[in-house]
């Protein structure tokens, strides 16, 4: 049975390359405008409400959002198992535009 289009997007989002690339886009936006952390914090609160089981990740994101910007950006974009896991329950992709998302997914599918 073939996955639905929605399931395909979810599969891409949770793959390491797609998650990393989306977070690289978000990190560039945050580096240019650190005040966007408030947008990410708002998204984090919504994630807490819809997925209480992700609390361990939400707590880590909350701590990172309160940390110096270089620490946040480094964690968002580092290639590690811990960062990969954290990116799967991330509020940061709220900063990625639909066009950027399409480009990332297209590139991941092509690779």
In a domain, 10, yes or no: no
Please write the tens of the pLDDT for every residue from 53-76.
999 999 999 999 999 999 999 999
Q: How far apart, in Å, are the Cα atoms of 81 and each of 35, 85, 86, 92?
A: 28, 6, 9, 18
In a domain, 6, yes or no: no
Percentage of residues in the chain having pLDDT higher than 70: 86
Which residue range forms the structural domain that includes residue 45?
16-110
Q: How far apart, in Å, are the Cα atoms of 34 and each of 31, 67, 69, 80?
A: 6, 12, 7, 24
Q: Is-above-0.85 flag for pTM? A: no
**Considering its fold, how many domains does the chain have in total?**
1
């Amino acid at each position: 049975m073939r996955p639905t289009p929605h399931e395909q997007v979810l599969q891409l989002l949770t793959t390491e390359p797609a998650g990393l690339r989306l977070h690289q886009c978000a990190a560039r936006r945050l580096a240019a405008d650190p005040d966007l952390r408030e947008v990410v914090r708002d998204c984090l609160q919504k994630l807490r409400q819809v997925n209480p089981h992700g609390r361990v990740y939400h707590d880590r994101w909350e701590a990172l959002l309160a940390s110096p910007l270089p620490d946040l950006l480094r964690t968002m974009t580092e290639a590690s198992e811990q960062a990969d896991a954290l990116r799967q329950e991330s509020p940061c992709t709220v900063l990625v535009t639909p066009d950027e998302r399409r480009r990332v997914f297209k590139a991941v599918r092509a690779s």
